[in-house]
Structure 1
Amino acid sequence: MTGWCAERRARLTGEDGSSVIEFLGLSLVLLIPLVYLVLTLGRLEAAMFATEGAAREAARTYVAADGADEGAERAVAAVGIALHDQGFDDDPATALVLTCSAVPCLAPGSAVSARIEVRVPLPFVPSFVRDVIPLEVPVSAERVAPVDTYRTTDE
């Protein structure tokens, strides 16, 4: 019976099974930051995709419009669609900045530049922390579209 007790005591004081616990602990320590990094980079990539597409379409729709007011409305609508498509709720009118190279914006041979800026908040950061420390990454894109040289001006 003493042999059985000594064998049982040796088995209980050994390190059998501790490698599984160490593996699980180390996995959690390494896996949580990796998942957070993937989520953050995915959101930033979505913002880049949205701003690039929004800037391109805003410039193209503006120069294809009949007038400057109609062009601005179409550009804001295009930005809203592109941002909403990627899950951003930013106001398209404030995210879009249009600049023209000539005094009448749609003058033949001129160019129109559309710049989009979106702020991407870091995921899982509570709002009370964001109020104290700005934890956002600004993402912007700019595209230039030429106005057709043979365009007739109505303005």
Structure 2
Amino acid sequence: MLRPRASTERFAEDERGSAALEFIVGGVVLLVPIVYLVVTLGLIQSHALGVEAASRHVARAVASAESAEDADDRAATILDALAREYDIPRDSLAVDVSCVGTAASCPAAGAIVRVTVASSVPLPLVPPVLGLDQAARVGVESSSVQKVSRYWRDG
């Protein structure tokens, strides 16, 4: 019968109990970044969906409004509702309404209106030290176009 050598017995004894330690260290080293990545991507996707919905719905509201005042009221109502629904700070939404082509006034009856909504997503767990929280942001933006109703009134 073959006996193991003394050197292999010594190595076998040195390795006892290290599997649990390796599992814990390896699990923490691999699991924490994966969880952070999942949370961060979830926040970015939520903001992206909110910005996309805002641009689409504001473009529809402006295009189907009857006047500039009506369009402003509808757009503000929609932006407030979507900011609450997608948990986006209302003051972080930048909205730009412009007309495509050469319209004398924007919006005008029959013109094509473009609404662009932009926001930035703060990365989680970034401390507000030396402005890091402002630098560690991911920008999201969406544009939508709609044809303005022919019932639009200029006044």
Percent identity between the aligned chains? 31
CA distance in structure 2 between the aligned counterparts of 1:151 and 1:96, rounded to whole angstroms: 24
Paired residues of 1:55 and 1:79 also in contact (CA < 8 A): no
Alignment-derived partner of residue 105 in structure 1: 106
Q: CA 1:133 to 1:51, structure 2 compared with 1: closer, same or farther past 3 Å?
A: closer
Large movers: runs of 4+ above 4 Å: none
| Gaps in structure 2 of 5+ consecutive residues | 1-9
Alignment-derived partner of residue 4 in structure 1: none
CA distance in structure 1 between the aligned counterparts of 2:109 and 2:133, rounded to whole angstroms: 49
Aligned length: 143
CA distance in structure 2 between the aligned counterparts of 1:74 and 1:53, rounded to whole angstroms: 14
CA distance in structure 2 between the aligned counterparts of 1:114 and 1:152, rounded to whole angstroms: 17
CA distance in structure 1 between the aligned counterparts of 2:119 and 2:37, rounded to whole angstroms: 20
Residue by residue over 1:74-101, the C-alpha shift from the partner in whole angstroms, topping out at 9 and shown as x without a partner, is 1122122112211111327x52111124
When the two structures are superposed, what TM-score results if normalisation uses the length of structure 1?
A: 0.81
| Gaps in structure 1 of 5+ consecutive residues | 1-9
User: Bigger shift: 50-59 or 68-77?
Assistant: 68-77
Paired residues of 2:123 and 2:133 also in contact (CA < 8 A): no
CA distance in structure 2 between the aligned counterparts of 1:37 and 1:58, rounded to whole angstroms: 31
Alignment-derived partner of residue 3 in structure 2: none
Paired residues of 1:79 and 1:96 also in contact (CA < 8 A): no
Aligned alpha-carbon RMSD (Å): 2.2
Tell me the secondary structure at the aligned position of residue 114 of structure 1. Answer: strand
Paired residues for 1:20-35 under 5 Å: 20-35=20-35
CA distance in structure 1 between the aligned counterparts of 2:98 and 2:136, rounded to whole angstroms: 29
Q: CA 1:56 to 1:131, structure 2 compared with 1: closer, same or farther past 3 Å?
A: same
Alignment-derived partner of residue 114 in structure 1: 115
Could you tell me how far 1:18 is from its partner in structure 2?
A: 1.1
Q: CA 1:130 to 1:39, structure 2 compared with 1: closer, same or farther past 3 Å?
A: farther
Alignment-derived partner of residue 6 in structure 1: none
Alignment-derived partner of residue 148 in structure 2: 147
Residue by residue over 1:99-143, the C-alpha shift from the partner in whole angstroms, topping out at 9 and shown as x without a partner, is 124233342220111110111011010112435861111100010
Q: CA 1:26 to 1:130, structure 2 compared with 1: closer, same or farther past 3 Å?
A: same
